[in-house]
Amino acid sequence: MAKIQTFPKSRLRNGELLDATKAIIQKMNSLDGVITPVKSCYDVFSDNVDKYEYSIVKRSKNEFVLEVNQVKNENLNNRSTIFKIVDGYKKSRIKEKRLAAISLVAAISGFRKVRNLSLENLIQDTVQFIKLLESDLYKDKITTLGLTEQVASIKTINNECIELINKKLSVYVSRKRPVNTENARIWVNKSYDELVDELNAYTRYNGNDKYFELFTWWNAMIDEYRSKISDRYGSKAGGKLDNGVSNTPFPDSGSGGDRPEIE
């Protein structure tokens, strides 16, 4: 059956190995059902790729400041939309909307001046703001003013703010206990081999219909890196190109035997 060919990973530069492994993760995530049968191996591989990336790519403080400012402004702007709509209905000729707005104005007045809060404090304040708007006392008024979707949008943005704070914490911890790039690369290579072995074994016993697209793409990517290595180090340094041999459902048992098994 079709299989993933061997990959001369040891001859790739750090950036090339990172690009290749992240491309694999992205491709597997884009295809339905290919991860589930090998999820345990995939999860280890994905986690090791993240560690490898952090070992060679250090995010600067300024990058996080830019992201923090962006999500903070989104949060503030969406909250501001609520206030503007409620204020606009205070003098509405439609009695039901006018009464709903007047009731809400008093309730939300304490949530207006938050621009100087840190992102962490803004998140907590927004959580309380959402609780108020979704409470039994005010949820009907929110519906009356057509603000249900806007409240849902604020909740989504606030969750994105929480994710960013967690990401900052994760990077901070990884910097306090940095992973050596050489060791991280060893983990990536080992987990890559285990994932490939698991995929090849699974398709050998269960057929490769679900994995044919993935394997075709994967082997083509490896061929590209073989060509790049040969261009860099010499005509045979990358090994013999597979040229789709591994993608055939029933390859000739003698095919590809002269390709050097680099790893």
DSSP 181-213: HHHHHHHHHHHHHHHHHHHHHHHHHH-SGGGHH
Question: According to the model, what pLDDT value does residue 106 have?
Answer: 86
Cα–chain center distance at 228: 28
Taking only the tens place, the pLDDT of each residue in 161-208 is 888 888 776 665 555 556 788 999 999 999 999 999 999 999 998 887
> How many structural domains does the chain have?
2
Same domain (yes/no): 157, 214: no
The answer on 189 and 103 residing in a single domain is no
Answer yes or no: is 190 within a domain.
yes
Asked if residue 2 is part of any domain, the answer here is no
* 161 and 88 in a common domain: yes
SS3 of residue 55 by DSSP: helix
Pick the last residue of a domain from 176, 206, 225.
176
Q: Residue 33 is part of which domain span?
A: 9-57+180-247
Within-domain flag for 161 = yes
In this structure, are 73 and 143 located in the same domain? yes
* 185 in any annotated domain: yes
Same domain for 243 and 172: no
Closest residue by Cα to residue 72 from 113, 114, 111, 129: 114
Instruction: Tell me, yes or no, whether 164 and 69 share the same domain.
Output: yes
Using one digit for the tens of pLDDT, what is the confidence trace for 237-262? 888 888 878 876 544 433 333 333 33
3-state secondary structure of 45: helix
